[in-house]
Amino acid sequence: MRAPLLAAAIGFALSGCQTASLNIAIQQNLPKACQALETAYAAFTSIAEIGTVKQSMIDKEAAAYVGVRNLCVNPERETAADVVAQVAQAYATIDAALNIARQAQ
Protein backbone atom coordinates (compact mmCIF):
# COMPACT_ATOMS: atom_id res chain seq x y z
CA MET A 1 0.00 0.00 0.00
CA ARG A 2 2.96 2.29 0.40
CA ALA A 3 4.04 1.95 -3.23
CA PRO A 4 1.79 4.78 -4.49
CA LEU A 5 3.22 7.16 -1.91
CA LEU A 6 6.74 6.16 -2.86
CA ALA A 7 5.84 6.70 -6.50
CA ALA A 8 4.64 10.20 -5.65
CA ALA A 9 7.88 10.93 -3.81
CA ILE A 10 9.91 9.66 -6.75
CA GLY A 11 7.81 11.82 -9.03
CA PHE A 12 8.73 14.83 -6.91
CA ALA A 13 12.42 14.00 -7.06
CA LEU A 14 12.49 13.35 -10.78
CA SER A 15 10.57 16.46 -11.68
CA GLY A 16 13.28 18.77 -10.39
CA CYS A 17 12.45 22.38 -9.67
CA GLN A 18 10.19 22.94 -12.65
CA THR A 19 6.69 23.68 -11.39
CA ALA A 20 4.97 22.38 -14.51
CA SER A 21 6.81 19.07 -14.32
CA LEU A 22 6.07 18.82 -10.62
CA ASN A 23 2.36 19.41 -11.13
CA ILE A 24 2.22 16.80 -13.90
CA ALA A 25 3.98 14.24 -11.71
CA ILE A 26 1.61 14.97 -8.84
CA GLN A 27 -1.48 14.77 -11.03
CA GLN A 28 -0.33 11.41 -12.36
CA ASN A 29 0.32 9.97 -8.89
CA LEU A 30 -2.56 11.52 -6.94
CA PRO A 31 -5.13 8.91 -8.04
CA LYS A 32 -2.80 6.14 -6.82
CA ALA A 33 -2.31 7.85 -3.47
CA CYS A 34 -6.05 8.41 -3.11
CA GLN A 35 -6.71 4.75 -3.98
CA ALA A 36 -4.23 3.67 -1.30
CA LEU A 37 -6.12 5.89 1.14
CA GLU A 38 -9.44 4.24 0.16
CA THR A 39 -7.96 0.76 0.56
CA ALA A 40 -6.52 1.52 3.99
CA TYR A 41 -9.81 3.12 5.06
CA ALA A 42 -11.82 0.07 3.96
CA ALA A 43 -9.45 -2.28 5.78
CA PHE A 44 -9.62 -0.22 8.97
CA THR A 45 -13.40 0.05 8.81
CA SER A 46 -13.84 -3.70 8.44
CA ILE A 47 -11.67 -4.33 11.51
CA ALA A 48 -13.24 -1.51 13.53
CA GLU A 49 -16.71 -2.98 12.98
CA ILE A 50 -15.69 -6.00 15.07
CA GLY A 51 -15.67 -3.69 18.08
CA THR A 52 -12.11 -4.14 19.36
CA VAL A 53 -10.87 -0.67 18.42
CA LYS A 54 -11.14 2.25 20.83
CA GLN A 55 -13.61 4.96 19.86
CA SER A 56 -10.89 7.61 20.07
CA MET A 57 -8.92 5.79 17.34
CA ILE A 58 -12.03 5.43 15.19
CA ASP A 59 -12.70 9.16 15.54
CA LYS A 60 -9.09 10.06 14.66
CA GLU A 61 -9.14 7.83 11.58
CA ALA A 62 -12.53 9.17 10.47
CA ALA A 63 -11.35 12.78 10.75
CA ALA A 64 -8.27 12.05 8.66
CA TYR A 65 -10.29 10.24 6.03
CA VAL A 66 -13.11 12.79 5.71
CA GLY A 67 -10.73 15.72 5.49
CA VAL A 68 -8.72 14.23 2.66
CA ARG A 69 -11.51 12.41 0.84
CA ASN A 70 -12.86 15.76 -0.34
CA LEU A 71 -9.41 16.67 -1.67
CA CYS A 72 -9.22 13.43 -3.63
CA VAL A 73 -12.62 14.09 -5.18
CA ASN A 74 -11.97 17.77 -5.92
CA PRO A 75 -8.20 18.49 -5.88
CA GLU A 76 -8.47 21.72 -7.88
CA ARG A 77 -9.16 23.79 -4.76
CA GLU A 78 -5.55 23.58 -3.57
CA THR A 79 -2.11 23.31 -5.08
CA ALA A 80 -1.14 19.86 -6.26
CA ALA A 81 1.75 19.65 -3.80
CA ASP A 82 -0.53 20.54 -0.87
CA VAL A 83 -3.06 17.91 -1.91
CA VAL A 84 -0.46 15.14 -2.12
CA ALA A 85 1.06 16.17 1.22
CA GLN A 86 -2.35 16.07 2.89
CA VAL A 87 -3.22 12.72 1.31
CA ALA A 88 0.11 11.27 2.46
CA GLN A 89 -0.42 12.56 5.99
CA ALA A 90 -3.96 11.15 6.15
CA TYR A 91 -2.74 7.84 4.75
CA ALA A 92 -0.09 7.66 7.48
CA THR A 93 -2.74 8.33 10.14
CA ILE A 94 -5.09 5.70 8.73
CA ASP A 95 -2.27 3.20 8.28
CA ALA A 96 -1.24 3.67 11.93
CA ALA A 97 -4.86 3.22 13.00
CA LEU A 98 -5.09 0.08 10.89
CA ASN A 99 -1.97 -1.36 12.52
CA ILE A 100 -3.41 -0.66 15.98
CA ALA A 101 -6.73 -2.23 14.96
CA ARG A 102 -4.97 -5.35 13.68
CA GLN A 103 -3.13 -5.69 16.99
CA ALA A 104 -6.41 -5.38 18.88
CA GLN A 105 -7.94 -8.33 17.04
Q: pTM (2 decimals)?
A: 0.65
pLDDT digits (tens, 9 = 90+) for 59-68: 988 988 888 8
Query: Which segments within the chain are labelled E, that is strand?
Result: none
Indicate the domain borders of the chain: 3-104
pLDDT digits (tens, 9 = 90+) for 38-54: 998 999 999 888 888 88
